Chain A
Amino acid sequence: QVQLVQSGAEVTKSGASLKVSCKASGYTFTAYYIHWVRQAPGQGLEWMGWINPNNGGTNYAQKFQGRVAMTSDTSIGTTYMELSRLRSDDTAVYYCARNKGGTAPRGGWFDPWGQGTLVTVSS
């Protein structure tokens, strides 16, 4: 079955960088864009951006531009989201999700989602 499995929880310090992985299985990895979405404790969902695993093309939400980098490794079917210059308000659960309904630049929806990775940033 289609599945996205993310790396485990992380605790890190303000100012540091963090890289979360998302391994895909059950479908052709390069055929679907991957989104990253985060959720701060007790808060709503926030879209961060997408990556085209086929060619590495990306599109980031304006809020994260300059601080986020999404990459992919087609040899192992894995995408990565790296967030730099971490702050305490970056403490959140980070999700990857597959784009369905065509290529991301044309729209779509998120299905399925990874299990989430809790990132805790301490000062």
Chain B
Amino acid sequence: QSALTQPASVSGSPGQSITISCTGISSDVGTYNLVSWYQQHPGKVPKLMIYEGSKRPSGVSNRFSGSKSGNTASLTISGLQAEDESNYYCCSYVGSNAYWVFGGGTKLTVL
């Protein structure tokens, strides 16, 4: 199972919006609405930010939103803040064999 494809890096200024894409194939992202997104600060534990493609866990800011179109899922962060600077990973369920696959990760820099 190949990793999902994410851009290595994105950047934005405070207050702006950015979008991180996560491209899979029809057997993972394209078929299942089970993409999740994780934020990981350096040296820290990953934190769930989005699940089932677009749902936010309790306590996650509504500045974070998720969506999907075809084989590509996206994470959008609006009103960028310095604290959003981190690494972000997407993850998808692969139902054919009950596997999971991660994206390679995207480093977000807040300028």
* B105 CB contact (under 8 Å) in A45, A50, A110: A45
15 contacts between A and B (CB under 8 A): A37-B102, A44-B3, A45-B40, A45-B46, A62-B1, A107-B93, A109-B34, A109-B48, A109-B52, A109-B91, A110-B36, A110-B38, A110-B48, A111-B48, A115-B45
Are the CB atoms of B103 and A44 closer together than 8 Å? yes
Tell which of B1, B57, B93 has the most Cβ of chain A within 10 Å.
B93
* A107 CB contact (under 8 Å) in B3, B32, B103: B32
A105 to B98, CA, bound (A): 5
Are the CB atoms of A109 and B36 closer together than 8 Å? yes
Interface residues of B in 61-111 (CB under 8 A from A): 89, 91, 93, 95, 97-105
A37 to B103, CA, bound (A): 13
Residue of A nearest to B87 (CB): A44
Residues of A within 8 A of B1 (CB): 61-62
Q: Quote the shortest CB–CB distance from B2 to chain A (angstroms).
A: 12
Size band of the interface chain B makes with A: 20 to 34
Are the CB atoms of B48 and A59 closer together than 8 Å? no
With contacts A47-B102, A101-B34 taken as known, whether A110 is within 8 angstroms of B91 at the C-beta atoms is yes
Residues of A within 8 A of B98 (CB): 50, 59, 104-105
Tell which of B46, B89, B102 has the most Cβ of chain A within 10 Å.
B46
Residues of B within 8 A of A112 (CB): 48
With an 8 A cutoff between CB atoms, is A80 at the interface? no
Residues of A within 8 A of B47 (CB): 113
Q: Quote the shortest CB–CB distance from A120 to chain B (angstroms).
A: 16
With contacts A100-B51, A108-B93 taken as known, whether A47 is within 8 angstroms of B45 at the C-beta atoms is no
With contacts A100-B51, A107-B34, A109-B34 taken as known, whether A95 is within 8 angstroms of B45 at the C-beta atoms is yes
With contacts A47-B102, A113-B45, A113-B46 taken as known, whether A107 is within 8 angstroms of B95 at the C-beta atoms is yes
